[in-house]
Amino acid sequence: MNEEMNGETNISLEDYLIIIKEKLWLIVSITLMAVIIAGIASFFVIKPTYQASTSIIVGKPQETASGAAQLNSDVMMYQNLLKTYTEIAKSDLVSQGALDKLHSNLELEQIKKSITVTPQTGTQILIITAKGKKPEEVFNVINAISTSFIESSKKVYPTGGDIQVMDKAIMPKNPISPNKKLNLAIAFFLGLMVSLGIVFLLDYMDSTVKTESDVEKYLGLPVLGVIPRMIVEKK
């Protein structure tokens, strides 16, 4: 509300509602514009991203497969194995092997950037994930990576663990991003908050006296009379 000339202004909920009602067109316009912009970006500008994953389990090393190792030794062994295989999965060797199998126009750096390797804490499992703009391409990349990973691991670390694919990749049907509904909801909320902020800021900066109630409220003076506005019709 307008700043009081003498003393402080007490703003009631009714005053806020009056401000909102008077500037409702501005609030609706800004909010609608934000939603439209987010909708255009989500549906037409931002390209969808697809994801496919495969899980690989790491067994005991061959030389200890028939032994009875202590529990603590096994835990340390698997932790070290997972770290080793994680680095192998992220290596140029594995990516280049996958690239050779794909026979596509992709480059080595594109393959490496699209791959994420995540060891599952407390397990013997590695999750390898591939992301990309085309579902068929993502599916082919993750399969080529998993095959290249197993082949390369046996070559560079023949005394390591017994690694096998546990869950094969599935062709992605729906993109993981953009989340269109979430983007529209965020745009609506931000548009509403921004529009309300602008409306209240404009009212705060407006120092004019518009009605007789404003005179009584801000000046503390009684209204002695009102001059009506006369509308003259042109003949």
Phi, psi of 205 (to 5 degrees): -80, -10
Instruction: Give pLDDT tens digits for 50-72.
Output: 999 999 998 766 554 444 445 55
**Which residue would you say has higher pLDDT here, 125 or 12?**
125
Residue 7 lies in a domain: no
What is the pLDDT at residue 100?
94
**Into how many domains does the chain fold?**
2
In Å, what is the CA distance from 160 to each residue of 58, 62, 67, 111, 228? 9, 7, 15, 25, 95
How confident is the model at residue 65, as a pLDDT? 45
56 and 154 fall within a common domain: yes
Q: Is residue 195 part of a domain?
A: yes
Q: Give the type of residue at 65.
A: A
Query: What is the separation of C-alpha 186 from the centre of its chain, rounded to a whole number of angstroms?
Result: 11
CB 27 within 8 A of CB 172: no
Distances (CA, A) of 41 to 32, 35, 38, 187: 14, 10, 5, 11
User: What is the per-residue pLDDT for 234?
Assistant: 53
Q: What is the pLDDT of residue 36?
A: 96
The confidence score (pLDDT) of residue 30 equals 95
pLDDT at position 123 is: 85
pLDDT tens, position by position, 220-229 = 666 656 666 5
- Extract the tokens encoding 106: 């992709």
161 and 186 fall within a common domain? no
Statement to judge: residues 76 and 39 lie in one domain: no
Average pLDDT over residues 5-32: 79
Q: How far apart are CA 235 and CA 232, in angstroms?
A: 9
Together in a domain, 149 and 199: no
Tell me how far the alpha carbon of residue 121 is from its chain's centroid.
24
Bridge partners of 161, per DSSP, are: 61
Claim to verify: residue 101 and residue 185 sit in the same structural domain: no
Closest to 222 in 3D by CA, of 212, 211, 231, 207:
212
Return the CATH number at 121.
Answer: 3.30.70.1130
pLDDT per residue as tens digits for the range 59-110: 766 554 444 445 556 667 777 888 999 999 999 999 999 999 998 889 999 9
Residue recorded with tokens 């009379």: 225
Amino acid 11: pLDDT: 64
Question: What's the domain range around 207?
Answer: 14-45+179-219
Do 102 and 189 lie in one domain? The reply is no
Q: Is residue 226 part of a domain?
A: no
Q: What type of residue sits at position 75?
A: V
